[in-house]
Amino acid sequence: MTTADSTAPHCPPELLAGAKKVDVGSGLTGLLWTGVATQLSDPARQYLRRTFPAVAVRAFTATSRQYWENWLSDENLDRLSGLVIVLDSTGLPVAWVASNNRRFGGRRCFYANSAGVHPEHQGTGISSTIWRVLLRAAIVTSAPRSLYAVMRTGNPLVYGAWSAATGRTGATWPAPGSAVPQHVRRIAVDAAADLGQADRLDPRTLVITDAYDDTEAGLWTQRPTSDRADIDDWFATLLGPRDAIVLVVAFPPVRIMLDEARRKVRRALGRRGSPSSRSSRAG
């Protein structure tokens, strides 16, 4: 006698309308909206407002449910150009990424609005997987010009991941011991202005003072750490608990598209290998 697979993904029907499924690993369901204002239905928004804040406060321990309920307001959601939500086998959110298309400093930019992963799923590669979903389309659209990914962050793990994603040195700002070029300063100034924090930005360091002033202690009770002690120490010296940097990362489209093609080939070959190859890379 066979029984239903208890890990089989369940997707609430109210989320499916307007969404595209994306592959995020066994037992999980990824949903993508590329036109949030028109594609994310009212029932889907209500479902996220019921379920999402409980996950978000686990990922950002110094925030409140009210903080994330505000983030999920219609006004904020309608500003997003891309949103990916990952659901577990019970249909509850466990990870997300969100982006905006922007022009900062006269250049096309991909603004990484928000991202988070439930603690039980951290370290599995979910975040990088779903960021690629949004970033890949933006890089193709920007070709042949470089795409500048921009975000406000106080997390050294995020800094390290985005720096490594370029596959080259000298494409990430700010960086320890390096001056910030003028064109990057202009991008950061416009990004800070878009956040309503232009007066708090130091264009030499790209630090925004009191960037997270809507929470008493910033986003975390203790700042996350990365696998690089030098970056962790730099962040600890550079930033206070509520401070952030405007991180700017340049992605050359030709190289990124070639790297993505190679990644897909390796993934396909892995799947044709041993039966366990997929589960070993889940997420």
Q: Per-residue pLDDT for 80 more than 90? A: yes
At residue 247, what are phi and psi to the nearest 5 degrees? -90, 130
**Predicted confidence band of residue 44 (pLDDT cuts 50, 70, 90):** very high
Pick 66 or 9 by higher pLDDT: 66
Q: What residues form DSSP beta bridges with 84?
A: 32, 97
Q: What would the two tokens of residue 26 be?
A: 């066994």
3 state DSSP class of 276: coil
pLDDT at 267: 58
What tens digit of pLDDT does each residue of 208-251 get? 999 988 766 667 677 888 888 999 999 999 999 899 999 999 98
What tens digit of pLDDT does each residue of 138-196 get? 887 777 788 999 999 999 988 998 998 887 889 999 999 999 999 999 999 999 999 99
Q: What would the two tokens of residue 178 be?
A: 């390096």
pLDDT at 282: 26
pLDDT at 268: 59
Domains of the chain in sequence order: 14-98+113-144 (3.40.630), 147-251 (no CATH)
| Global confidence as pTM | 0.79
Q: Which of these, 219, 240, 196, lies nearest to 64 by C-alpha position?
A: 219
pLDDT at 271: 52
CA distances from 120 to 37, 88, 225 (A): 30, 11, 17
Percent of the chain whose predicted confidence (pLDDT) is above 90: 59
Our CA dihedral for 96, 136, 155, 243, rounded to 10 degrees, sits at -100
3 state DSSP class of 264: helix
pLDDT at 123: 80
